[in-house]
Chain A
Amino acid sequence: MSTVQDASVLVSKPSSPALSQRILRLWTYRGLLLNLIRRDLRVRYKESALGFIWSLLNPATYLAIFYVVFVIILPAGIPSFPVFLLSGLLPWTLFQNSMMAATSSVVGGAPLIKRVAFPREVLPLAAIGANIFHFFLQMIVLLGFMLIFGYGFLSRYTVLFIPALIVEVLLLTGLGLMVSSVTVYLRDMTHFMELATLFWFWMTPVVYPPYLVYDKLTRHHIPFKLALLNPMTPVVMAFQRAFYKTPSPTTVDHNGVVTYHHILVNQFHLSWYFEVLGLIALVSVALIWIGFHVFAKGEGNFAEEL
Chain B
Amino acid sequence: MANAIEVRNVSKIFKLYHEQYHTLKERLIFLRRSKRFEEFRALDDVSFEVEEGTTFGLIGANGSGKSTMLKLMAGILRPTSGEVMVKGRIGALLEVGAGFHPDLTGRQNVYLNGSILGFSTKEINHKFDEIVSFAGMENFIDNPVRNYSSGMYIRLGFAVAVHMDPDILLIDEVIAVGDEAFQAKCMERIRKFQEDGKTILIVTHAVDGIRDLCSRAALLSTGHLAAYGNPSEVIRQYRNKVSKTHTGEKIDHLTAVDIEKLTLTDPGGNPQPFFTAGDPMTVWAELVTHTPVEDPVFSVNIFDAAGQHIFGTNTALRYMGTDLAPGPARLRIDFDMVPMQEGTFTMAVGIHSRDGKTVYAATDGNTSFQMRSLNDEPGRLMLPCRFSMDAPAIKRATG
| Inter-chain contacts of A29 with B (CB < 8 A) | 115, 118
Stretch of A56-64, A180-188, A201-209 contacting B (4+ beta carbons < 8 Å):
A180-188
- Are B76 and A186 in touch, CB under 8 angstroms? no
Interface-central residue, A14, A111, A301, by most chain B CB under 10 Å: A14
* B72 closest partner in A (C-beta): A12
Chain B residues whose CB sits within 8 angstroms of the CB of A8 once the complex forms: 87-89, 167
| B33 contacts chain A at the CB level, 8 A cutoff | no
Which residues of A have CB within 8 Å of B24?
186, 188, 192
Interface-lining segment among A34-42, A95-103, A235-243 = A34-42
B79 to chain A, nearest CB (A): 6
Residue among A2, A28, A187, A304 making CB contact with B77, cutoff 8 Å: A304
Find chain B residues with CB under 8 A from A187 CB.
22-23
Partner of B78, one of A1, A13, A111: A13
Chain A residues whose CB sits within 8 angstroms of the CB of B84 once the complex forms:
11-12
Name the A residues within 8 Å of B120 (CB-CB). 31
Chain A positions 9-51 with a Cβ under 8 Å from a chain B Cβ: 9-14, 28-29, 31-32, 34-36, 38-39, 42-43, 46-47
Q: Does A303 contact B (CB under 8 A)?
A: yes
Answer whether residue A115 sits at the interface, using C-beta atoms and an 8 A cutoff: yes
Given A1-B6, A14-B80, A186-B27, A116-B116 contact (CB < 8 Å): yes
Asked whether, in the complex, the Cβ of A112 is within 8 Å of the Cβ of B116, the reply is: yes
Report chain B residues within 8 Å CB of A114: 76
| Nearest chain A residue, comparing its CB with the CB of B102 | A43
Q: Does A229 contact B (CB under 8 A)?
A: no
Type the 1/0 row for A103-120, where 1 means its CB is closer than 8 Å to any CB of B.
Answer: 000000001111111100
A151 CB to closest chain B CB, in angstroms?
Answer: 40
A2 and B104 within 8 A (CB): no
How far is B116's CA from A229's CA once the two chains are assembled, in angstroms?
38
Stretch at the interface among B91-99, B222-230, B249-257, B319-327: B91-99
Contact A185:B22 (CB < 8 A) given known A8-B89, A14-B78, A36-B112: yes
Q: Contacts A31-B119, A116-B116 known; A12 to B75 CB distance under 8 Å?
A: yes
Is B81 an interface residue when CB atoms closer than 8 A count as contact?
A: yes
Determine whether the beta carbon of B79 is less than 8 Å from that of A13.
yes
Give A200-232 as 1s and 0s: 1 = Cβ < 8 Å from B's Cβ atoms.
000000000000000000000000000000000
Q: Are B23 and A2 in contact (CB under 8 A)?
A: no
The residue on A at minimum CB distance from B73 is: A12
A75 CB within 8 Å of chain B: no
Interface digits, A167-196 against B, CB 8 Å rule (1 contact, 0 not)?
000000000000000000111100010000
Is B101 part of the binding interface, using a Cβ–Cβ cutoff of 8 Å?
yes
The chain B residue sitting closest to A184, CB to CB, is: B22
In the complex, what distance in Å separates the CA atom of A300 from the CA atom of B85? 16
Q: How distant is the Cα of A2 from the Cα of B75 in the complex, in angstroms?
A: 19
| A188 to B29 CA separation, bound complex (whole angstroms) | 14
- Is A4 in contact with chain B by the CB < 8 A criterion? yes
The answer for the CA separation of A91 and B213 in the assembled complex, in Å, is 59
Bound complex: CA A212 to CA B332 (Å): 99
B111: Cβ under 8 A from any A Cβ: yes
Give min CB distance, A35 to chain B, whole Å.
Answer: 4
**Which residue of the partner chain B has the closest CB to A189?**
B24
Closest beta carbon of chain B to A130's beta carbon, Å: 14
Given contacts A43-B104, A187-B22, contact A31 B74 (CB under 8 A): no
Q: What is the bound-complex CA distance between A17 and B73, given in angstroms? A: 15
Residue B215 CB within 8 A of the other chain: no
**Assuming A9-B86, A13-B79, A36-B112, is B167 touching A112 (CB within 8 A)?**
no
CB < 8 Å: which of A2, A11, A47, A303 contacts B83? A11
State how many angstroms separate the Cβ of A207 from the closest Cβ of chain B. Answer: 30
Q: Within 8 Å CB of B98, what residues of A?
A: 111-112, 115-116
Q: How far is the CA of A300 from the CA of B74 in the complex (A)?
A: 14
How far is A300 from B81 in the complex, measured between Cα atoms in Å? Answer: 12
In the complex where A116-B76, A304-B77 touch, is A43 in contact with B101 (Cβ < 8 A)?
yes
Per-position 1/0 for A287-306, Cβ under 8 A of B: 00000000000001101100
Q: Which residues of A contact B119 (CB under 8 A)?
A: 31
A113 proximity list for chain B (CB < 8 A): 76
| Contact, CB under 8 Å: B6 / A2 | yes
Please tell me if B15 contacts chain A, counting CB pairs below 8 Å: yes
Smallest CB separation, B377 vs chain A (Å):
46
Pair A42/B108 contact, Cβ less than 8 Å? yes
Known pairs A8-B167, A29-B115, A42-B108; A117 contacts B75 (CB<8 A): yes
Contact present for B71 and A116 (CB under 8 Å): no
Pair B23/A14 contact, Cβ less than 8 Å: no
User: In the assembly, what is the distance between CA of A117 and CA of B76, in Å?
Assistant: 5
A-B contact pairs, 15 of them (CB 8 A): A1-B6, A4-B87, A8-B89, A9-B86, A12-B78, A32-B115, A34-B115, A35-B116, A39-B104, A42-B104, A43-B104, A46-B103, A112-B99, A186-B22, A301-B78
Q: A14-B79, A39-B108, A117-B75 are in contact. List 9 more A-B contacts (CB 8 A).
A: A1-B6, A2-B87, A8-B89, A8-B167, A14-B81, A14-B83, A35-B112, A118-B117, A303-B77
